[in-house]
Structure 1
């Protein structure tokens, strides 16, 4: 995550299990989660992968998503039924070649078991858990972070807002010169969003049309950063523009989510971008980067702020 994640320190398995849903943005299920830790046990980053790949491919994906800051240990958590155990232990052996394993937890339902040999933590004997009641979960909730019920619920954050789409459609129809470029539009939009204001239907109509032009879309892409206000902006635009205009904003929403380390959200936004149209070269580029699991800290292009 990027600019809104408070420092979280791990002292026991309950801390890990309480933090993961809030740092991912949703409660994981049938997934492998890696938590990258600093020497002082601060959480540096979190990555999650669904169980659709082999243990070797999952290990590669998790290694690629390691944070730029030096990682001292990695905690590995597998969420799912008993067949996940051999996959989890294989990934643990692979990752342990690169970082010491802090812990290796298997979570099924409300039960957690530590699979590390010779471990004496509470989870080594198995324990009942409720991540929502942990002190870390309370801390992160107080900091304004949210954990959706599942990865699938991320779709709701970018699903069409039918009322907003109708308002934008009416504003598009009312434009005097719908094909004319509006000088300074992008700057005005970014200034409005950065000040915490929501775009009007008139602004959305102009922006929706502008983003169908390659040069405007690429200029907007160059201005995307990892700030929360940009995340809110591009998700809101994607939801409120008519479907035929959603490809460009969804591409920008995906890029912003990727810049923030929100890989699952980036995947959902890419899916929306591709679904709503053939897309541009930029859409295909962003989708390729997201699907390749390339982490944002490897970006050579200077970050926009």
Structure 2
């Protein structure tokens, strides 16, 4: 079982713009965001791409990432300087061939402009916006959803915790030479599912175990999109010494990808391969993430 996207319905452009940072988990900048909408005006999913590709490539990525649930319309929002406006306009024409376009917005600073020809919406001639005052943003904040200040800030979620790394190093030194990992993964998952943080005595043998292909692939096979697994693998990746980070960072990337948190998945992949090319599973996960393949294309679904 996975954690669903917060049940969010938009009633206005302010609602739509207010929800975006909280559903992405960060405030976008110099990016194109697609908000996929159901027939009941419910937000089904969001996806974002940095503006570093052509309009055709960006459109392809965002169309492919449309959710498996029937999508009635898509809102396309560009965040950035005036130079992005032609790219955004071309993307609107391309995406509308595949998914009905709800709106096409350009946001620069506190100003929002609708780029749809002949549109009579509130942003048709431009309007001032303050997403933080949106009732939807307020409700998502109450629900515990956090929006980091930027995409770059996602790196803090998996950055090394030097104090915790030292604690794990001490625990690793104390491990018996014949330490067994039988039942270790079940114990770790049971602890994390209850909302408890792993002790250094659990992190140390787990770090060691995940350097072995069989153990890493076993852990990978049970990774789901639940928030508690996201917290677990990000936490372990921060706490293990750098020479052990490839395994847990790979699992953190896979979990983030399954949750459609593509920006976080990319950051986790970078951490996983930082120490070298890594295991074949690390390379596979990195390839899937960088290919922008959507998680709903995954045939298997692990109940948890």
Superposition TM-score, scaled by structure 1 size: 0.97
- 1:164-197 CA distance string (max 9 Å, x none): 00000000011122x6432100000000000111
Deviation at 1:12, TM superposition (A): 1.4
The match for 1:236 is 235
The 5-angstrom pairing of residues 9-158 of structure 1 reads 9-158=9-158
Q: CA RMSD in A?
A: 1.0
- 1:48-101 CA distance string (max 9 Å, x none): 000010000000100111100011100000000001110001000001011211
Deviation at 1:304, TM superposition (A): 3.9
Higher mean alpha-carbon deviation, 85-94 vs 275-284, is at 275-284
- Alpha carbons 2:5, 2:45 under 8 Å: kept: no
- Alpha carbons 1:224, 1:304 under 8 Å: kept: no
- 1:13-70 CA distance string (max 9 Å, x none): 1111100000000000000000000111110100000001000000010011110001
Higher mean alpha-carbon deviation, 294-303 vs 194-203, is at 294-303
Q: Is residue 2:152 matched to residue 1:174?
A: no
Higher mean alpha-carbon deviation, 295-304 vs 243-252, is at 295-304
- 1:239-275 CA distance string (max 9 Å, x none): 0000000000000000000111111110000010011
Superposition TM-score, scaled by structure 2 size: 0.98
| CA distance in structure 1 between the partners assigned to 2:86 and 2:302 by the alignment | 40
- Alpha carbons 2:30, 2:50 under 8 Å: kept: yes
The match for 2:257 is 258
Runs of 5+ unmatched residues, structure 1: none
| CA distance in structure 1 between the partners assigned to 2:150 and 2:4 by the alignment | 21
Q: Is residue 2:225 matched to residue 1:226?
A: yes
| CA distance in structure 1 between the partners assigned to 2:237 and 2:36 by the alignment | 32
Q: Is residue 2:198 matched to residue 1:199?
A: yes
Deviation at 1:278, TM superposition (A): 2.5
Find the residue that maps to 1:275 and give its secondary structure: coil
The 5-angstrom pairing of residues 259-298 of structure 1 reads 259-298=258-297
- Alpha carbons 2:234, 2:249 under 8 Å: kept: yes
Q: Count how many residue pairs are aligned between Structure 1 and Structure 2.
A: 303
Deviation at 1:4, TM superposition (A): 4.8
Find the residue that maps to 1:34 and give its secondary structure: strand
| CA distance in structure 2 between the partners assigned to 1:58 and 1:40 by the alignment | 27
Find the residue that maps to 2:35 and give its secondary structure: strand
Deviation at 1:133, TM superposition (A): 1.2
Higher mean alpha-carbon deviation, 291-300 vs 27-36, is at 291-300
